[in-house]
Structure 1
Amino acid sequence: MGGAQREHWQRTYADHPGMYGRQPSDVAVYAAEVFLASGAETVLELGAGHGRDALYFARCGLAVHATDFSSQALDQLRRDAAEAGLGGVIQTSVHDVRQPLPLRDGSVDTVFAHMLLCMALSTEQIHALVGEVRRVLRPAGVFVYTVRHVGDAHYGTGTYHGNDIYEHGGFAVHFFDRAQVDALAEGWSGLQVHPLTEGDLPRQLWRITQRRP
């Protein structure tokens, strides 16, 4: 499904520039506070989209490496960063998270992924990605991510693709149960799981914070 989802997101960003608005997500506001309190100077954002959260992190004084598999989205981010005078502190890379992260071991202070892990990824691919996140984080580095969970109104409806992945309107979502969150936290420290809602449905999310030992 990866190729089909990439094309879908490319079309979506092309047809709806700035589709998530200019204000940062509540999760990004929380994450920036946690990152700065940890003494972080850098953040890797996975699935940055058109960059509302990346721009916020940069405004907070963090150097940002923003990745997404949609070049359309990252083109919008670069334009907005240049207009805001933030082009020098935001680096972008087109990257599919089903592949290893193009970064050195221990090279970033923090990692942020808002609803990226619950895209059309298999459980095996998600575990591999979290392993890559751990690899590129420095010791005591912080990882904040969100996922839609099995209490969401869309869970169990739409087109089923196996592995708890359901598709609605062309968007495929891997819904998480708590056991999967706990499994991804094995070998990490300081696990925090916070429920929240977002959007008009509203989407039911967990915000997860964990640290590399």
Structure 2
Amino acid sequence: MTIPKYGLSDAQRRHWQHTYAAHPGMYGDQPSAPAVHAAKTFHAAGAKNALELGAGHGRDTLFLARSGFTVQAADFSATALEQLHEHAQEQRLAEQITTILYDVREPLPLADASVDAVFAHMLLCMALTTEEIRALVSEVRRVLRPGGSFVYTVRHTGDAHYGTGTAHGDDIHEHGGFAVHFFPRELVDSLAEGWTLQEIHPFEEGELPRRLWRVTQCLPR
């Protein structure tokens, strides 16, 4: 059965709101390994500011701020962003962080070429259609300055959960209330068209373990 895209995405928003409320700081306070890689990549490219898409309660946002970047943290969960703001105040990082309540199905509320770098850990593989993913990457390209870096991670079709659970079509499968769009390699390649694709790094995360790709691509100058 295929669920209309907005029905599934809106259900996921409610699910994430409930999850963050029930489990504050659910991912802990240590940065993800992709965020550590992103900080090194962004520094090497001379970035001063960064946009994080799907920031959640902010473990990676806070790390990027501690690493010297000013960060705009976007997420569709108001609950998660409230937690992020509280943590930023506790760590005296509030002046470096701006939160944006944002639905990735909509255009980014940022000016063209206004961002040095973009980071998205597990955001592109949420309950988004391929069409919505392509539109989001086009928005990332629009707001990035020439030479800017985009680092994102996604679960892929080699993951143990791919093809199991509740199927929603378009390589989207749901487990435990969480819907995931599993990426085939050709989708990663197509999203890099017009970019300089620097790396597709396979890695594992979590207990299953989840199988992911960390993709690093750069906007030509």
TM-score range normalised by the length of the shorter chain: over 0.9
The match for 1:37 is 44
Partner-residue secondary structure (3-state), 1:161: strand
**Long gaps (5+) in structure 2:** 1-7
1:55 positional shift: 0.1
TM-score (norm 2): 0.96
Given candidates 94, 100, 111, the residue that maps to 1:93 is: 100
Q: Which residue in 2 is equivalent to 1:13?
A: 20
Q: Would you identify which runs of 4 or more consecutive aligned residues in structure 1 move more than 4 Å?
A: none
1:154 to 148, 156, 161: 161
Q: For residues 32-71 of structure 1, what are the structure 2 equivalents within 5 Å?
A: 32-71=39-78
Give the distance between the partners of 2:181 and 2:197, measured in 1 at CA: 24
Q: Any idea what SS the aligned residue of 1:105 has?
A: coil
SS at 1:88's partner residue?
Answer: helix
1:206, distance to aligned residue in structure 2 (A) = 0.1
| Count of aligned residue pairs for this structure pair | 213
Alignment of 1:1-213 (within 5 A): 1-213=8-220
| SS at 1:126 equivalent | helix
In structure 2, what is the Cα distance between the partners aligned to 1:28 and 1:3?
Answer: 27
> Partners of 2:138 and 2:49 in 1: how far apart?
19
Amino acid at match of 1:125: E
Letter in 1 for 2:41: V
Q: CA RMSD in A?
A: 0.5
Tell me if the contact between 1:185 and 1:191 (Cα under 8 Å) persists in the aligned partners. Answer: no
TM-score w.r.t. the length of structure 1 is: 0.99
Q: How far apart are the structure 1 equivalents of 2:152 and 2:171?
A: 19
Letter in 2 for 1:174: H
C-alpha distance in structure 2 between counterparts of 1:153 and 1:20, whole Å: 21
Q: Give the secondary structure class of the aligned counterpart of 2:27.
A: coil
Inter-partner Cα distance in structure 1 for 2:44 and 2:180: 32
* Contact 1:109–1:141 (8 Å) recurs in 2: yes
Question: How far apart are residue 2 of structure 1 and its match?
Answer: 1.1
Distance 1:188 1:36 in 2: 19
Distance 1:178 1:100 in 2: 25
Q: Deviations over 1:35-57 (max 9, x none)?
A: 01111000000000000000000
Q: Which residue in the other structure is 2:5 paired with?
A: none
> Which runs of no fewer than 5 residues in structure 1 stay unpaired?
none
Amino acid of the residue matched to residue 145 of structure 1?
Y
